[in-house]
Structure 1
Amino acid sequence: MGVSSIAPALPKMANVLEVSNERIGLLITAFTIPGMFLTPFLGVFADRIGRKVILVPSLFIFGIAGTACAFATDFTWLLILRFIQGIGGASLGALNVTLIGDLYEGNRRATAMGYNGSILSVGTAAYPAIGGGLALLGWFYPFFLTLIAIPVGLFVLAKLDNPEPDNHQNIKSYLGDILNALKSKTVIGLFAANFLTFIILYGGYLTYFPILLDEQFSKSSLVIGIMLSGSSLITAFASSQLGNLTRRFAESTLIITAAFLYFGVFLSIPFIENIWLFTLPIIVFGFAQGINIPSILNLLTHQAPKEYRAAFLSVNWTIIRSGQAVGPFLLGLVYGAFGLNGTFWISSTAALCFIAVGFLMIRP
Structure 2
Amino acid sequence: MHPLLRDRNLHTIFGITLTVIMGVSSIMPALPLMARELGIPLASVGLVLTAFTLPGIVLAPIAGVLADRLGRKRVLLPAMALFALGGTACFFARDLSTLLACRFVQGFGAAPLGVLYTTLIGDLYEDNDRVRAMGYNAGVLSLGTAIFPAVGGLLAEFGWNVPFLLPLAVLPLMLAAARLRLPASRATQTLGEYFRSTLRIALSPRALVLFGLSLLTFVQLYGPMVTFFPVLADTRFHAAPSRIGAIFAVSSLGTAMIASQLGRLSERFPARRLIMLSHVFYAAAMLLLPLMPGLWWLLGPVLCFGMAQGLNLPNLSTMMTSLAPTQQRAAIMAVNGTLLRLGQTLAPLLFGLLYAGGDLPAVFAGGAAVSCLMLALAAWRLH
Task: Please say if 1:169 is aligned against 2:189.
Answer: yes
1:241 Cα offset (Å)? 1.6
Partner residue in 1 for 2:249: 229
Contact 2:186 2:326 (8 Å CA) reproduced: no
Q: Are the counterparts in 2 of residues 202 and 327 from structure 1 also a CA contact under 8 Å?
A: yes
Q: Distance in 2 between matches of 1:352 and 1:31?
A: 28
2:56 maps to 35
1:58 to partner: Cα distance: 0.2
Say which SS state the counterpart of residue 207 (structure 1) adopts. coil
Contact 1:31 1:83 in 2 (8 A): yes
CA contact (8 A) 1:265 1:284 kept: yes
Instruction: Tell whether 2:117 aligns with 1:92.
Output: no
Q: Structure 2 CA distance, aligned partners of 1:189 and 1:329?
A: 24
Out of 216, 227, 235, the position equivalent to 1:196 is 216
Structure 1 match to 2:342: 322
State the match for 1:284 in structure 2. Answer: 304
Mapped pair 1:74 → 2:95:
yes
Corresponding residue number in structure 2 for 1:337: 357
Other-structure match for 2:156 = 135
The alpha carbon displacement at 1:306 in A equals: 0.5
Deviation for aligned residue 1:240? 2.2
Aligned length: 362
Show the counterpart of 1:26: 47
Of stretches 276-285 and 175-184 in structure 1, the one that deviates more from structure 2 is 276-285
What CA distance in whole angstroms lies between the structure 1 residues aligned with 2:205 and 2:381?
6
* CA apart distance, 1:274: 2.1
Deviation at 1:102, TM superposition (A): 0.7
Tell me whether 107-116 or 269-278 shows the greater mean CA deviation: 269-278
Question: Aligned partners of 1:2, 1:66: CA distance in 2, in Å?
Answer: 8
Post-superposition CA distance 1:82-115 (Å, at most 9, x none)? 0110000001021111111011110110000000
Partner AA of 2:157 in structure 1: L
Give, in whole Å, the separation in 1 of the partners of 2:184 and 2:329: 11
Distance 1:253 1:84 in 2: 39
Name the SS for the 2:226 alignment partner: helix
Q: Which residue of 1 aligns with 2:173?
A: 152
Distance 1:243 1:136 in 2: 39
Where does residue 240 of structure 2 map in the other structure? Answer: 220
CA displacement 1:255-282 (0-9 Å, x = unmatched): 1111111111111222211223222111
- Structure 2 CA distance for aligned equivalents of residues 18 and 120 of structure 1: 32
What are the residue-to-residue correspondences of 1:10-25 with 2, within 5 Å? Answer: 10-25=31-46
Distance in 1 of aligned mates of 2:91 and 2:367: 31
Aligned to 2:368: 348
Q: Distance in 1 between matches of 2:166 and 2:190?
A: 42
Q: 2:131 aligns with which of 90, 110, 125?
A: 110
Partners of 2:254 and 2:307 within 8 A in 1: yes
Segment drifting more, 277-286 vs 48-57: 277-286
Instruction: Quote the Cα distance in structure 1 between the aligned partners of 2:292 and 2:80.
Output: 41
Secondary structure in 2 matching 1:219: coil
- Tell me how far 1:251 sits from its aligned partner: 0.7
SS in 1 for 2:316: helix
Q: How does 1:192-271 map to 2 (within 5 A)?
A: 192-271=212-291
CA contact (8 A) 1:63 1:146 kept: yes
Quick check: 1:260–1:355 contact (8 Å CA) kept in 2? yes
CA distance in 1, matches of 2:63, 2:296: 44
Give the Cα separation in 2 of the matches to 1:94 and 1:164.
Answer: 19
1:113 partner amino acid: M
Which secondary structure does the structure 1 equivalent of 2:24 belong to? coil
- SS of 2:83's equivalent in the other structure is helix
TM-score, scaled relative to structure 1: 0.98
Counterpart residue identity of residue 306, structure 2? G
Q: Which runs of 5+ in 2 are unaligned?
A: 1-21
Aligned partner (choices 55, 61, 65) of residue 44 of structure 1:
65
Q: CA–CA distance in 2 between the matches of 1:78 and 1:164? A: 40
Task: Sort the Cα spacing of 1:199 and 1:74 in 2 relative to 1 into closer, same or farther, 3 A.
Answer: same
Superposed displacement of residue 283, structure 1:
1.2
175, 178, 184: which one aligns with 2:198: 178
Q: Is the 8 A contact 2:218 2:343 kept in 1?
A: yes
Deviation digits for residues 160-209 of structure 1, max 9, x if unmatched?
A: 11114221210111011111111221211111111111111111011101
5+ residue gaps, structure 1, are none
Q: State the partner residue of 1:63.
A: 84
Q: Is the 8 A contact 1:196 1:354 kept in 2?
A: yes
CA contact 1:51–1:164 (8 Å) conserved in 2: no
Contact 1:57 1:153 in 2 (8 A): no
Hey, what's the Cα distance between the residues in 1 that align with 2:253 and 2:290? 23
